[in-house]
Chain A
Amino acid sequence: MGSTEERIVAVIMVGGPTKGTRFRPLSLNIPKPLFPLAGQAMVHHPISACKRIPNLAQIYLIGFYEEREFALFVSSVSNELRVPVRYLKEDKPHGSAGGLYNFRDLIMEDNPSHIVLLNCDVCCSFPLPDMLEAHRRYGGMGTILVIKVSPESAYQFGELVADPVTNELLHYAEKPETFVSDRINCGVYIFTPDIFTAIQGVSTQRKDRATLRRVSSFEALQPANRSLPTDFVRLDQDILSPLTGKKQLYVYETMDFWEQIKNPGMSLKSSGLYLAQFRFTSPHLLASGDGTKNATITGDVFIHPSAKVHPTAKIGPNVSISANARIGAGVRLVSCIILDDVEIQENAVVIHAIIGWKSSIGRWSRVQASGDYNAKLGVTILGESVTVEDEVVVINSIVLPNKTLNVSVQEEIIL
């Protein structure tokens, strides 16, 4: 393999605004891929991971958001990481594989030997260089990243069965009702350009069936795929599932962390996982302090250089403080994300919460939640420009943007 000739193109699927309303209320103010985890946009993490791949030629972000929503981010991350990043807007839904196929000409422009496909809303260590090496060894068309989960939780994902020696993918079941396997699909893939042929095959098959339906009334009654347009191709059900056992697809298992970031609570958990990862990969990004010149820091904490934190505050573990935030004297922050321009006044306490841009937390007020990342109200979320007045208590609640709380609330959603 002439590795100096080989070029890699990465594609990150970022979704769109009306998909995934589960990220509300945060998604009311910012596209989910740009929400900061451990001080960097959600999509920044897979992008930096791609940068570690040798011979990376280009990164494409594909989604349904308007181009202008990503323009600033794309130009800034391209500069920062010195890798060309470009955002491509899908005109209509094509499915997870159809979207990739839709832009195949652009993707193949660099004549890549391999295409790395990632979902933006997964929190992962993205072991791409090792995975690529494994993919080359297997010699197949595609390699899928898998992770072992508890058998009770596996049903939420795509379950994969692989040969323990060759790592060939033998069977794939998407969200099965009964237990198939405790290895699940992480949403990270490496393909050779043959993937496009496979996607085209599915499209053509659909077209033929559509033609058949027009001439045979029996075919028209078949429920499978009846309502899917011919260019709507799903990666898992339509491509991976049929190719199992044909020595085309392989799996690569990661032993590191992995989470799906579907709701705001999970973004807090993911932020913590990335902060913990920084301790090994980029310890200079983490804050430190012992209460003398700087605030007392415990555990993994990120503080943006422009944020001001009073030395008598105690911060951490798992706290991320964004640009221009002001943390007052005697404040205690535990397990929270403090977004840009937030002001937290003296002696306030914030535990298991996300405090939205420009919000203001009053003196001696308390904003907290149970910390159950999957519960609807397990992490307290304050939207943009929310004011919590002095001494008010907010527990297990969600507050939409531009509200003022002057009485304490518990277990409430405030529109």
Chain B
Amino acid sequence: MKALILVGGFGTRLRPLTLSYPKPLVDFANKPMILHQIEALEAIGVTEVVLAISYQPEGMLNFLKEFEKKLGIKITCSQETEPLGTAGPLALARDYLVDGSGEPFFVLNSDVISEYPLKQMIEFHKSHGGEASIMVTKVDEPSKYGVVVLEESTGQVERFVEKPKLFVGNKINAGIYLLDPSVLDRIELRPTSIEKEVFPKIAKEKKLYAMVLPGFWMDIGQPRDYITGLRLYLDSLKKKSSPKLAFGPHIIGNVLVDESATIGEGCLIGPDVAIGPGCVVESGVRLSRCTVMRGVRIKKHACVSSSIIGWHSTVGQWARVENMTILGEDVHVGDEIYTNGGVVLPHKEIKSSILKPEIVM
């Protein structure tokens, strides 16, 4: 079985993190974002994954080869030379996706994390016999997104409404599709929107069905949602009683700690914290609602909350880092410094406090 992951372009919303690594390789819960999806696909028998990209940064190919070897799955890149929208990339990758077997293929949006109930989706697709299945998820504020209006009992999609002003429904497109190869015949190789052009046509022919996504869903393409997404993800690990979660007297709530990280005495870690490989958390440190990426050192008595600390950065002694502070790669926050929402580009030293949200270039 095949799958396409829409990776897109420069990941500018996740800067400054994406100034150091391409978005698919930015870690989420101690694992490159794209690996969460590739693993979920591999688990249900997908043998080939195509990444639809609009630019290929140096070094990405090496990572992909590594994943290929480790997971025993084929990974190819399909690179658009001009912007093709959300459907065009499928046409571009046609030759990889169609193998004559008539099997449907998955399409995933790379910014999304969820439980990926892909097996259930395959069964749903078989049972309704339509041409295309999409996952939808319930949200509190549907007007921020594109709403999918569906018939509750069968899941048949009636129509799509982009950012509706009046309430028409609370289910939005979760960015996970299972499509029959015939859908590719509907997509021309030009900039095309899957939500505005392709799906509405299929819905009109009553061949598009939507399944409500069980479990959590989040678009982690920007820092605020990334932090919320970590909470949801760790929560779902808890529900499954995952052995990956840390425990101990110094742990509150759901916390992920890489086995190569060290935590000192008298710390209080959690809730909703991920500590990456090779991190050193010195004694007396308080961490909550934050991601600490590979190679970071948090010095004694520091306090970090609701922030993302980028690869190989350091947080000084008694420093206080909070309120959506995002440190890029190799950023060093001096001792006793306070940062309130500072967004710091890579390779910087912060020697004076940042009192209100500010971008430091």
Contact = CB atoms under 8 A, between A and B. Distances in A.
B37 to A, nearest CB: 23
A118 B286 CA distance: 49
Interface string A388-409: 0000000000101111000000
B347 A415 contact: no
A110 to B, nearest CB: 36
B345 A21 contact: yes
Contacts of A403: 12
B226 to A, nearest CB: 14
Nearest to A25: B361
A24 interface: yes
Nearest to A415: B15
A1 B276 CA distance: 67
Nearest to B54: A402
A178 interface: no
Interface of A: 18, 21, 24-25, 28, 398, 400-403, 413, 415
Contacts of A398: 361
**Those 8 A-B pairs whose CB atoms lie nearest each other, nearest first:** A415-B15, A413-B359, A402-B10, A24-B361, A18-B347, A402-B12, A403-B12, A21-B348
Contacts of A401: 10
B361 A413 contact: yes
B19 interface: yes
B77 to A, nearest CB: 19
B310 interface: no
Contact of B15 (A18, A21, A400): A400
* Interface hub of B19, B359, B361 (most chain A Cβ within 10 A): B361
A18 B9 CA distance: 25
Given A21-B361, A25-B361, A398-B361, A415 B12 contact: yes
A166 to B, nearest CB: 42
Interface in B338-359: 343, 345, 347-348, 359
Interface residue SS majority, chain A: loop
Interface string B3-38: 000000110100110010000000000000000000
B52 to A, nearest CB: 17
Interface residues of B, number: 12
A193 B141 CA distance: 73
Given A413-B359, A413-B361, A402 B347 contact: no
A415 B359 CA distance: 8
Contacts of B347: 18, 21
Nearest to A404: B12
A11 B12 CA distance: 39
Contact of A24 (B10, B12, B345): B345
Given A24-B361, A25-B361, A415 B10 contact: no
A21 B347 CA distance: 8
A25 B345 CA distance: 10
Nearest to B348: A21
13 contacts: A21-B347, A24-B345, A24-B361, A28-B19, A398-B361, A400-B12, A402-B10, A402-B12, A413-B359, A415-B12, A415-B16, A415-B343, A415-B359
Interface in B307-353: 343, 345, 347-348
* Interface hub of A25, A400, A403 (most chain B Cβ within 10 A): A400
B351 to A, nearest CB: 13
Nearest to B349: A21
A263 B10 CA distance: 25
A403 B347 CA distance: 22
Nearest to A24: B361
Interface in B180-204: none
B17 to A, nearest CB: 10
B149 to A, nearest CB: 27
A413 B358 CA distance: 9
Contacts of B19: 28
B357 to A, nearest CB: 11
Contacts of A21: 345, 347-348, 361
